[in-house]
Amino acid sequence: MRAFIFPGQSSQKVGMGAELAASSIAARDVFDEVDDTLRQHLSVLMREGPEDRLTLTENAQPAIMANAIATLRVLEHDFGVKLLEHANCVAGHSLGEYTALASVGAFGLADTALLLKLRGWSMQAAVPLGEGTMAVLLGADVEQAKALAEAAAQGEVCEVANDNDPSQVVISGHTGAIERAVALTKEHGIKRGMILNVSAPFHSSLMAPAAKRMAGALEETPPGALMLPLYANVTAAAVTDPAQITALLVEQITGRVRWRESVLAMRADGVESFVELGGKVVGPMVSRTDRDAQMTSLVTMKDLEAFAKEIA
């Protein structure tokens, strides 16, 4: 069995998608549709920068999605590798969950772009700049991270945001609490803590205003039927019911991304190989979670060609 998986924020970089667009009309069609939908030259920003504008959450989220869907479209249209013929399920990390849903027909491309534009803006606007942040804990498991977060909170929000793999957990919350947590890492047996260069405390209870906005947006633009199961971030379990997915997408804004558990659940359900489209971010997390899992990352035309030949 094979899972197609999709990256989340921090996988953006200037130049993303440029080679695909230069080589394939299928990729150009994706970028053009997203540009037209958002009434923004997002593809130019992706190709040329500046980096600080691309990194803005409201730009990064639809850009990462567009790049991943363009990668999938090139794989399908230029190399004849259809997702429905070669994948058994999908998953995505944080915003990548929307990309995964688009890949299996639950959302159209235009709706996905609009939802992610709103999601990015809403998450950025939920907390005044500087009042919240995130930190990555290296050499920490989720239980260590939870204990550290509780010790550092001191009446403020400090929560586990991403359980990425057995050696990497991300915490999120008020800036003071996160700074205290980083200072306490050694006392909790954690190798290292680093403040992340992010503009908001994603996947924490501080994102409640964004969750409320997205609940309204998803009520107006609900997901449709899925052609393959999705392993959801907040449950680490397979789901196909659109109504349940709507609730999970809202919960995901404030809830923990259970990526490590999602990988283990897919493995337990028989998935042997994972294919990351449009990045090399979640793939290494898969490999650190289960060294026996087969992992392929598809970013360049050369990657796509090699993968097509491999599974032919």
Residues classed as catalytic = 94, 203
- On the 0-12 / 13-18 / 19+ scale of CB atoms within 10 A, 268 is exposed
Residues 248 and 239: beta-carbon distance below 8 Å: yes
Give the Cβ contact number of residue 55 at 10 Å.
19
- b/e map 120-147, b = 16+ CB within 10 Å: bbbbbebbeeeebbbbbbeebbbebbbe
User: Do the beta carbons of residue 134 and residue 202 sit within 8 Å?
Assistant: yes
Task: Decide: helix, strand or coil at residue 278.
Answer: coil
Alpha-helical (H) ranges within 104-207 are 109-125, 142-153, 175-183
Element of type H or E holding 135: strand 132-138
From residue 177, alpha-carbon distances to 10, 132, 159, 183 in Å are 23, 9, 10, 10
The whole-angstrom separation of Cα 273 and Cα 41 is 36
Please name the amino acid found at residue 174. Answer: H
Instruction: Name the pairing type of β-strands 192-195 and 158-165.
Output: unpaired
Helices marked H in 39-165: 42-48, 51-55, 57-77, 83-86, 96-103, 109-125, 142-153
In angstroms, rounded to a whole number, what is the distance separating the alpha carbons of residues 102 and 111?
9
> Do residues 63 and 118 touch, judged by C-beta distance below 8 A?
no
